[in-house]
Amino acid sequence: MIDLSQHDAGPRNLRVREFYLGRQPILDRNQNLFGYELLFRNAPVGPAHITTELSATAAVIAHASQLGMERTVGDALGFVNVDADVIMTDIFAFLPREKMVLEICATEPVTPLLLARVEELAGQGLRFALADVSGENETIVALLPWIEYIKMDMRTPLSTLMKLAPRFRQQKKKLVAEKVETREDFKNALDLEFDYFQGYYFSRPVIMSGKKLSPSQLAVMELMTLVTSDADNIDIERAIKRDVSLALNLLRLVNTPAVGARQRIESLSQAVTLLGRRQLQRWLQIMLYAEPSKRGHSMTPLLMLATTRGRLLELLAGKLRPSQRHVADVAFTVGIMSLMDTLFGMPMAEILAQIPVNDDVSQALLARDGFHGDLLKLAECIERIEEMDDHIVPALRNLAMSADELVELELAAFEWSDNVVRYAL
């Protein structure tokens, strides 16, 4: 076994912090959040400091764990890709075992040493998944006794999936559909009785012409208009009281640790007075994603993604333009509103016709233009790190930000979003 501490420094000048961190949501059959696949990519900045795949993978995972793997996954499970070299290290001392699933590629060559190590780790309580399964081979047959999850790509021919899925279900394996990018992919995987679904199908807008906002959404939108105008606090409070569920949800949300209030907020009057217009507007934006009627229908992942985007953009703007508080406020609004076309099933242009926003927000949301548009593009690249990895370096260079700084802000955004979602559900 390889001692991971050997990869921390020394003559190879290992720079473990030069990496990007992406996470892809994994949902259950009710479209509630179940886990994340954590994707680590080395940032090609300057000379190559990491000379082997082992040090690139193991050292990055170890360092991310030290930064706070639990901050990254929250209450969900984390699926982490590992190869034979990494499995032979002592990296698992860094990982919160009850939260992690080790993902092995189905094409990984099997050796007696690897099998013995997998059996040993399984005996210690670690769980395993097999990824990229498109048939049966020696690797799958040999590792299957220790495998809990089987991951299959939805781009695999449907006829192949129809043969494989029942076979693995009979062996009591949990099935994860990967690359679920469309509603049709999701329906096919449901029909094949997959247990979990990985991809961004839930964030793709399904535009329905003539769709109207729900009564609770309209109530929130009207309240947002009052907050952004010069309406008196008493008028805002009266508007909130007209909708009992809105009032209760708002009180619950504003008492989340993410708000950072020094005392518990017990009344609507307190909420309006203590929070101020800027914070109140923020929580109303979040409430659009957290309305009760959305529960169990993509609400959780959309809420998680929108709050993470909003917070990450706010933190990025605060880091890049620390003396301009309003720029960070606008960044949060851009992030949180960027998924409203999916939430409402309406084109973004129609939404912006109903919600008054300034030109910076409009340009960012409609054309990904300007400073805030650049921040939004970066966040979207990180979310789709597998397909858009090569766009991240130019985006960071354009913003004069390091990969190290980006990961720190990402972790803070993940943690903040997790806190919000716990209180919103």
Give the C-alpha separation, 81 to 128, whole Å: 10
Across all residues in the chain, what is the average pLDDT? 83
Q: How is residue 292 annotated by DSSP?
A: G
| 238 & 131 share domain | no
Q: Is residue 60 very low, low, confident or very high in pLDDT (cuts 50, 70, 90)?
A: low
What is the per-residue pLDDT across 164-216, written as a single tens digit (0 to 9) for each?
999 999 999 999 999 999 989 999 999 999 999 999 999 988 877 666 777 77
CATH number at residue 356: 1.10.3210.10
What is the per-residue pLDDT across 309-321, written as a single tens digit (0 to 9) for each?
999 999 999 999 9
- The per-residue pLDDT for 291 is 64
- Provide mean pLDDT across the span 351-374: 91
Contact 315, 413 (CB under 8 A): yes
Domain boundaries, position 78: 4-203
Q: Is residue 209 part of a domain?
A: no
- The per-residue pLDDT for 256 is 74
- pLDDT at residue 294 greater than cutoff 80: no
CATH number at residue 71: 3.20.20.450
- Provide mean pLDDT across the span 256-262: 71
Q: Is residue 210 part of a domain?
A: no
| 252 & 144 share domain | no
| 88 & 40 share domain | yes
Cβ-Cβ contacts under 8 Å for 402 (sequence gap 6 or more): 18, 45, 396
Q: What is the number of domains present in the chain? A: 2
Q: Is residue 296 part of a domain?
A: yes
% the chain with pLDDT above 90 = 39
Q: Is residue 15 very low, low, confident or very high in pLDDT (cuts 50, 70, 90)?
A: very low
More confident residue, 381 or 16: 381
Q: Is residue 246 very low, low, confident or very high in pLDDT (cuts 50, 70, 90)?
A: confident
Contact 244, 292 (CB under 8 A): no
% the chain with pLDDT above 70 = 85
Q: How many of the other CB atoms lie within 10 Å of CB of 418?
A: 21
Q: What is the pTM of this model?
A: 0.85
